[in-house]
Every structure is written in structure tokens, then in C-alpha cells.
Structure 1
Amino acid sequence: MPSNRTVSDTVPVGAHVKLAIVGGGPAGLYLSILLKRQDPAHEIAVYERNPEGSTYGWGVTYWAGLLDKLRAGDPESAAAVAEASVTWTDGVAIVRDERTVHRGDAGFGIGRRRMLALLADRAGELGVRVEFEHDIAGPDAPELAGADLVVAADGVNSVLREAHAEHFGSAVTSGRNPYIWLGTTKVFDSFSFAFKETEHGWIWCYAYGFSGERSTCVVECSPGTWTGLGLDTLGEADSLRLLEKLFHDLLDGHELIGRDRADDAAQWLTFRTLTNRVWHRGNLVLLGDAAHTTHYSIGAGTTLALEDALALAAALRAPTDLDTALTTYGKRRRAELVSAQSAARYSAQWYENLPRYMRLEPAQMFALLGQRHSPLLPHIPPQLYYRIDRAAGQLEPLRRLKRWLGPRVARAVHGRR
């Protein structure tokens, strides 16, 4: 089995190698591009189990810092992604029936299907063999035999990782709130939120454009609201009609779009946060969602996956043996992910405790929505936190106090668990 090869069996990183990348998502495709650019003689195959053009989700988000990194890695694919993206700067929230606008940094959206097509085309141009509808059942698959490096880029349910879950130290934590990933024909020119109070509790939506024709809508609520509204039993078509009524002012009469099989049950999920203690075993290495996941509410999943690819390519470029390169990659990325994972954890908890913040005026609630990554926020009354935050924005001593208190509160809380 490829994953059982020892370091002494592997070739030096700088040599021409045979690579098998399992999973044709953004991370796997982009890694193939980077490695082909490093050495065109590398023999690289990407195996994707789904048909070409078939993907889950609608659009993905990213920020300007990612584009700078992509330009450094491969200017051609970065230019193609930038050209196919849409941009927004404002955040808009509808709380009950009141609309609030917040000025912010520029964000970008691109259709996931479009991004994958661009990366697959670029990989093919460079000589990568991209094979669609090609399932790899496990580490014993004949396609992996003889590979110097096997990359598990096959997602949160990675079969390659699960074959050695104990070695990797895999751990999964499920979130509380049900959510559903939808599209809409409404084209949003800002990152938009809507919070609606029902007799069964709050339900909310975040929406953003990813092309000139479509936007993504993610709807979330507590388990009690989900069952109270009957969303646990409705088929997808009836669920979409109910959600369209609830968010009519956000959608402006536009429809929500689900899957093609509208008579099936709606695809509500709970988010699974995955971590792994180590990221490689012999010549098998984890990448993207196969290695880690962060809650969708911080909009960083695709960015972090592409950054994994950049880091792995950099580690493989170093003049060292394969085991050292993969160890370096794993340690670096686990360290870099700490802040994002913390932000995602607090963001998810903010939404799970949404009623705590809904007594505020809409503008104040929206301000704290932007502060949801703070470890201090859950432990201070929302109105008081809002006042401190406003004051800290004007007085440097209070700003320093807030920065000083945050880590100490977090350590005290975690120390009691």
C-alpha cells in the first residue's frame, strides 16, 4: 500500500516524482498546478469521483489577500479567477423589518463550479492528467501503487484518511444548528443578512452574489425553530416556498433554488468541524477539508484549502527528504490555522446563542455580528460590550484593555472545562 512506504523508500523531494491527488476540489487542483509549475517533469494525476461540472454548493467567498497569494503561486489561474469573480464592499442586515448598512472591506464571490473549471483547465494546460468519474475506493487502489506521493484531497469524508483515522488522530465535532445551502436568482451587490423572528424562534439567512445571474443563500436556525416550522418534515420544494415567504424582503420576489430532485427531503445539515493531530502517514498527506474544516460562517473554507496547497508546494520545494517536508507542512499549517479555527468556533457559538443579541437595536446587533469572533463577547453583557467596543474605537487605552482581556478570559474559560 502506498501509505505504508517508509521514508527510506521515498525519493528526494527535488527529484521528478509520480504524484496521485485524490479529489478534484480547489485544493487538489491548485496543488497540481503549483507542482507542475515547479517541475514540468512531475507525473501528476488528479482523480475526481464526480462528473466534470458536477459540484456541491453555489458560490464561495474570499478576500483580496488570497488573490495576492494566488498571483504569486500561478499568475495565469489567479487572473482567470479574478476575472470570473464579483466584488462587494458593504454589509447589509435586515433585522425584523429594519435595514442596516455597514461599510467594510472588499470581498469577492465566485461560483464554485466556475472556479473548479478554471483550475481544471489550467491544470490540463500544464500537463496534469485530470480524470473525472474516477473513484478511488481506498489506499489499496491500483491507481495509487507506485506513487511517490499520495495526496488525500477527498474532503471531510476522506476514505484515505478514514483508513488510518487512529494514526491521524481524527476528531469530529458536530454543531447544533441545522443549515441549508441554497442558490437564488436575486443578485446581491453586498454581503446581506436577514434575521426573522417566528413564533418558534429566530431563523436567519446570509447571502452573497457569485455571478451576474446567481447568489448563494445559507439559511440557519436553532433545532427548535427547525422542527417548530416543520422544516424537518417538508420536502425540498415546500421548504423553499416557506423560506421564500420568510425572507421575501431580502429576496425581492426572487426564487430560491435547491437541488434538481425537488421532491426529495430538503438537504439540511449540521456542520462538522474536523481536526487531525498529524497530517501525514508515510507518503500519504492530507489537504484541505480532508485535514480540517472551519465553520462556514467565517467564509474561509476555500481560502484555507488553497493556502494548504501553497504551503504543501512550498514544503515539497525545499531540498530535503519527503518525510521532513510533510512534517514541516503539517506543523506549519496546524499553527497557522489556530486563529481561524478559534474565530470559526466563536462565530458558530454566536449564532447558536443568537437570542442573546436580538434584544439590541438593529444597528448595535449588526455591530456585534462583526465582533462575533471575539472570545470576550460571550462573557460580557451585549449592551456593555457594545459600549466598550465603541469607546475602544476612540480611546487607545481601552482598545489595549480589550486586547489584553480577551485571551485571559478565553484561557480562564477553557481552563475550567
Structure 2
Amino acid sequence: MRVKVVCVGGGPAGLYLAILLKRQDPARDVTVHERNPRGSTYGWGVTYWRGLLDKLQAHDPASARAIEEHSFRWSEGVAHVGDLTTRHHGDEGFGIGRHRLLDLLATRAHALGVRLEYESEPTDPPADADLVVAADGVHSALRTRRAAHFGTRITSGRNPYIWLGTSKVFDAFTFAFTETEHGWIWAYGYGYSGEHSTCVVECSPETFTGLGLDRAGEDQGIALLEKLFAGVLDGHPLTARPGASWLTFRTVTNETWHDGNLVLLGDAAHTTHYSIGAGTTLALEDAMCLADALGAHAALPDALAAYQHRRQAELLSVQSAARHSAQWYENLPRYIHLPPHRMFALLGQRHSPLLPYVPPQLYYGLDKAAGRLEALRRLKRWLGPRAARALHARATARRN
């Protein structure tokens, strides 16, 4: 039987799923619909780590080789806190331009026989499709129409942020924290080619309004940010995409990921805070999991149920890490006045559920000791969630 698959959304998840489905069965009729023209995309560069590259290699060596070849690499992290700087060696990381990534995936999909329909956005799932994939992002129209069934929940974060680019090529994953009379403002910077880097700027709502960024025009706001981060930009400009604006992060969750022959993929199904740099990785892993499930189960309901069960289980720890990471930045004054090397160490531990409830200096000492002694490390992992729950309950009782 000739199976027809329609994917709505031509981002990394939708394109990679199409590649995997055609590799599984070249007879499949696979079409990807993308509302934007080919070559137009939002964002600058995306990050990933060696673990993703290994998975890409296992699923489709051709696209894995192309992605690695066009990626920018770093193996260090650096934090600038005011006039002080600390640098640490870490795991190998990769950055690639979103535009380049989409072009590589689209070229590979087309070579395998996938139909790519640009400037096309079906308002309703095609009636003759055996499987419809909603890969249309955080604002998914297909998901929104059935939000009650999916049990969609969308929550907004506290801190405003803006996604920018720069011609300054950062040689390490860079954190820059600048103090102003209205509070701290910070940037995450990473290279994604030999000519460009991504620069995400974030601050508290109080700093945002105090600096007048809520009222500034685009040019005025960019000029202020260039001044605030002049020390790390080295004279290079910041650039915004047309229509770019300050946002607050939207965390999307869904109780169920499928309805009949419609299934959610990538940001349509879930989002995780940008501060852990996992959005693209998770979207591509969704595609791998869905393709594996479709290959392993003859009946579509069984395949979709297996996909949802596996991915929701795998995402639990990542979503928890993302929540704690976002909260770390929302509570930056708690950590920012530590010596830079200690602040940077706790920045690396921001995913810990125990950290918000233990004095930062004490946590740093415990973590350093646990790093030397395996027994203490196991004890910390065991105690962490339990202590966090107990301390939270005690704090709640005191407030009441």
C-alpha cells in the first residue's frame, strides 16, 4: 500500500522526519508544506553537542556529514562578569546557521524524493493523507484547532529576551553579565560560522523598563545594547532580523501528542527554555523517535502511542533542567556577586533542583567535594530531589 504522509512545517523537525521516512520506505508519498519562501527563516544560529551528531550519523550518515562539515566548533566556555573574566574547558559544542541547516536538510530531502511545497500552509489536514504531522512550531495552527483534545498548556516566562546576530565571532560559548543602574543585563553568545555569531540578550522586567528598552525604537535599542556589551563585541555591531522584538519565552506542553492520524512534532508538541540550548536537538530527536515508531509498528495508532510514550518519558529530565535553568537567571542577584569562577561553576549547575534552596557558597563547596568523591556525588544525586521538596514545603509552611 502506498502511504501518504503530509508534514505541515518545514523546520528541522519536519524536514528530518521526511528524510527518515523516505529512507525507511522510498515508496512513501511524503510532502512537506512550509508557509515561508525557501531561504527565509527566523533566528541566527543553533547549537548542538556531539551526542546529537552521533545520533544523526546512525540515522542518516549523508545529512550528518553535511551538517558537521558546515558547523562551527568550540570547546570552552567563558563568563564576563563586569570587568572580571573566567574561562573553562568543556565538552565540544557546535553551532550552525539555521538558514544553512534548513538548506542542507531540504537538499537531502529533495534528493530522496520528498516534495517540498514552499509558501504553502494547509488550513486543514488533507483528507487523503494517511498521516498528518503538525511540525508548525510553537504557534501551531493545527494544534490550536484541537487544543482541548491535546490538553495544550502555554505558560510565559518572566524575563524579556531578544534574539540578535553579530559579526563578532566568539571563540567560546560566551556569557556576558553587565551591571546597570537598573540591574543586571546579560547575553549568551556563540559562533555559528567563521563570520557570524548568535547573541541572545536577556534581563529582568525591572531592568528592561528601567533602561527604557520597552519604549526604545529598534535602532535606539540596538545602540544601547552595543554600548552595554562593548567589552565583548570588540567594536562589532549587533543586528536584528526585520520585525525582531523582545519576547518572553513560551513553554508549551501537551497531555497527548496525537489525535486520529494527526501527530505533533517539535515545538508544536513541547518547548524548552533557550538557556539550555536544546530546542533543535529535541526537535530532531522527536523526528528520529517518530520514524522509529512508524517503522516498528504496522498499525498507526500503536506507532503514535509508542512515540508519545517514549518521548514524553525522555523529556521529563530535560524539561525539569530547562525550568531550573530559567529560574536561575530569574534569580541572578542570588549568584552574581560570587567570585566569577564560583558564579560560573554554579551557572553550570543551574539545572539542579537543590541549588535554589541551599546557600550558593555552601552549594559550591558541596559540589566541589562531590566532584572529588564518588560516594558524595551519589549521595548528592539521591538527596537532591528529596531535600528540595522538604525545603520547599518548609518555606511554604513559614509563608502561611
2:118 is the counterpart of 1:137: no
* Structure with bigger RCO (C-alpha 8 Å, 6+ apart): 1
Q: Distance in 2 between matches of 1:240 and 1:167?
A: 42
Letter in 2 for 1:199: E
Corresponding residue for residue 52 of structure 2:
66
Residue correspondences, number: 395
Corresponding residue for residue 237 of structure 2:
255
Is the CA contact 1:16–1:39 (under 8 Å) kept in the aligned structure 2?
Answer: no
Q: Distance in 1 between matches of 2:16 and 2:391?
A: 39
Is the CA contact 1:343–1:373 (under 8 Å) kept in the aligned structure 2?
Answer: yes
Corresponding residue for residue 10 of structure 1:
none
Corresponding residue for residue 176 of structure 1:
158
Q: Distance in 1 between matches of 2:142 and 2:358?
A: 44
Is the CA contact 2:95–2:193 (under 8 Å) kept in the aligned structure 1?
Answer: yes
Give the match's secondary structure for 2:372.
Answer: coil
Q: How does 1:344-383 map to 2 (within 5 A)?
A: 344-383=322-361
Deviation at 1:72, TM superposition (A): 1.0
Corresponding residue for residue 246 of structure 1:
228
Q: Distance in 2 between matches of 1:370 and 1:356?
A: 15
2:95 is the counterpart of 1:109: yes
Give the match's secondary structure for 2:188.
Answer: strand
Letter in 1 for 2:73: T
Deviation at 1:209, TM superposition (A): 0.2
Q: How does 1:211-250 map to 2 (within 5 A)?
A: 211-250=193-232
Q: Which runs of 5+ in 1 are unaligned?
A: 1-14
Deviation at 1:145, TM superposition (A): 1.8
Task: Give the TM-score normalised by the residue count of structure 2.
Answer: 0.97
Q: List per-residue Cα deviations over 1:344-364 (Å, max 9, x = no partner).
A: 000000000000001211111
Q: CA RMSD in A?
A: 1.2
Q: Distance in 2 between matches of 1:410 and 1:129?
A: 50
Deviation at 1:405, TM superposition (A): 1.3
Within the candidate set 319, 343, 361, 2:321 is matched to 343
Is the CA contact 1:297–1:348 (under 8 Å) kept in the aligned structure 2?
Answer: yes
Deviation at 1:294, TM superposition (A): 0.1
Q: How does 1:282-293 map to 2 (within 5 A)?
A: 282-293=260-271
Deviation at 1:393, TM superposition (A): 1.2
2:306 is the counterpart of 1:320: no
Q: How does 1:194-213 map to 2 (within 5 A)?
A: 194-213=176-195
Give the match's secondary structure for 1:393.
Answer: helix
Deviation at 1:413, TM superposition (A): 6.2
Letter in 2 for 1:318: A
Corresponding residue for residue 128 of structure 1:
114
Is the CA contact 2:322–2:351 (under 8 Å) kept in the aligned structure 1?
Answer: yes
Is the CA contact 2:357–2:388 (under 8 Å) kept in the aligned structure 1?
Answer: no
2:272 is the counterpart of 1:272: no
Q: Distance in 2 between matches of 1:48 and 1:321?
A: 28
Corresponding residue for residue 26 of structure 2:
40
Is the CA contact 1:172–1:272 (under 8 Å) kept in the aligned structure 2?
Answer: yes
Deviation at 1:414, TM superposition (A): 7.1
